Structures are given as C-alpha cells and as structure tokens.
Copies of this chain bind each other. A is one copy, B any other.
Amino acid sequence: MPIKLAANAYGKNAVNLSRVLRHAGHHEFRQVSVSVQLTGDFEAAHTVGDNALILPTDTQKNTVYALAREYFTGPIEEFGLVLARHFVARNPQVSKARIEIVEHLYQRMSFDGQAHPHAFVGGGSEKRRAAVELRADGTTTVWAGLKGLLLLKTADSGFVGYPKDEYTVLPETTDRILATECEAEWEYTAADLDFETQYQQIRTNLLRTFAGHQSLSVQHTLYAIGEEILKSNDAVKEVSLVMPNKHHIPFNLEPFGQTNTNEVFVATDAPFGYITGTVVRG
C-alpha cells in the first residue's frame, strides 16, 4: 500500500509585536503574539523537497510587522482578517489561512484620578485572543475569546449527589471554593461586527454569571455561562469553555485540636479536574 501525505499545515508562531499608537496628547500601547498557519498545496515540498510553493515563515513574520504599521489600529479580530486576506490573496496555493492572535493586556496608569498619557502596567495572566480562518473560496470564520482568566468564589458552590464506588473518598460539600483558570472561545456569526463592543459585553456576562451562579458543579457553572452568553449576544453562534477545577482543599487541622470551618485551604496544582463543554443553539 503506498504511503502519502494527509493533513498538514505550517506557519510562523509567536510573532511578538508591540505597537504604539501616537495620538495627540496620549499614546496607546498594544502587545500581541501572532501565529500564521497555512494549509494548501504543499505536497511537493514534503515528498521531493520542492519549495516553490512554500512561502517562508520568515516572510510571513515580516508581513505581520509590515502590515501592522498601517492596519493594526483596532481590535485583534480586524487585524487577523487583514492578515488572512493578505495571505490568501497573494498565494493561490493556499487553501486556508488561519491567524491566531493573543493580546497581552496593559492598563494605563492613573494617579489621583488622572490617566497618565504614556505609562502602563501589564503582566496579567488573562489574555484576549482571536482566531480567523479564511478559505480560498472566500468563506470566513471569526472566533474570539480569552484565556488565563483566574476566577474564584468563596460561596455559592457545592458538589453533592455523585455516584459512590469502592474508590470514593471525597466527602460531599455544600460550601466549597470554586476556582478556575477559564478559557473561553466563541464563534461569531459574521466577520463585520463591532468586535470591541461584543468582546466587552461577553466578558462581562461571563464574569457576572460566574459570580452569581448557585453552582452545583463546575459543569453546572460552565453551562450557565455558555447559556447566558448565547442568550445575551445574538452575534454568537456557539461558545466553548474550558474550566479546570483549581482545587482548594481544606487543610486538616484536627490533629492539632482545631476545627477548620472552611477558612484554611491548600491550593493544589496537580492533579486537577478538567471540565470542557460547548454550548450551542439547538
């Protein structure tokens, strides 16, 4: 039986781009990491080493910087669309261009209620992200989302009623800490939306639902978040959520003659529960 190439793709990852927008009287600062991934007619490169259709990843990188000067002035979804269109338009051998952009968020400093014109604080684990796919037939898909959003609540969370077997040790609880490093990605129904407004609404809905939900499990809260986003935002087609359970285990103080009334916890990194789900319109 002959051997052949199936799925394949390539591109430049981790193109770290910082952009200063020099407005009169103040600066904007943006920092992103861009990844380009091309799918297409690359079989000859694999099988006989013919690179005639392989746009070098170095060129892809240069393109990101060159187009950033003119076109990276708004939300990352828009810049992603610009890049995807460039690669598809210029390279007939490309059947699909996928652009992923992760934004490192910076807050403008503020002193005595005055926003500073050019000083910023960064460093949060929360990243905004977008992905754009443009196919040679012109169809486009845009996803937006976030990751690294560390959420925690100290009330309104429990876990009871689960099946028990001979390996069950976990006690039921109606009062636990619920913590997660939330990853969310939603698909938009169109490519010409006001991505900035959409994003901020969806993020607020996510936070508000997490905070207010009477959580009976991580799954329960995950679904509630997805449901709320779909209900409140018509432009969202579906939402995928990853919500690892960042366990906070009450430390056993009884050997020391103390009672731990859900006040002192060990936060563990491993192992961790890993809960994923996609919520869609039915």
Contact = CB atoms under 8 A, between A and B. Distances in A.
Given A8-B276, A223-B5, A265-B18, A123 B150 contact: yes
A113 interface: no
Interface size class of A (residues with CB under 8 A): 35 or more
Most chain B CB inside 10 Å of its own CB: which residue of A56, A111, A262, A272 = A56
Contacts of A10: 218-219, 273-276
B123 A27 contact: no
A3 to B, nearest CB: 5
Given A20-B263, A126-B123, A281 B153 contact: no
A123 to B, nearest CB: 3
Given A51-B161, A59-B167, A231-B3, A46 B220 contact: yes
A16 B268 contact: yes
B6 A271 contact: no
Interface stretch (A74-82, A129-137, A190-198, A207-215): A207-215
B20 A265 contact: yes
Given A20-B262, A217-B49, A273-B10, A281 B1 contact: yes
Contact of A69 (B59, B151, B264, B279): B264
Given A167-B256, A227-B3, A152 B277 contact: no
A40 to B, nearest CB: 12
Nearest to A270: B14
A261 B62 CA distance: 17
Most chain B CB inside 10 Å of its own CB: which residue of A46, A126, A282 = A46
Most chain B CB inside 10 Å of its own CB: which residue of A45, A55, A240 = A45
A42 B124 contact: no
Contacts of A148: 123
Interface in A1-53: 1-22, 27, 29, 31, 33, 35, 37, 42, 45-53
Nearest to A126: B123
A263 B181 contact: no
Interface in A134-180: 148-156, 159-170, 177
24 contacts: A3-B227, A5-B223, A12-B272, A12-B273, A13-B244, A16-B271, A17-B265, A18-B265, A29-B154, A46-B223, A51-B160, A55-B165, A57-B245, A58-B169, A59-B168, A65-B251, A65-B253, A65-B266, A66-B167, A118-B155, A118-B211, A122-B150, A123-B125, A269-B269
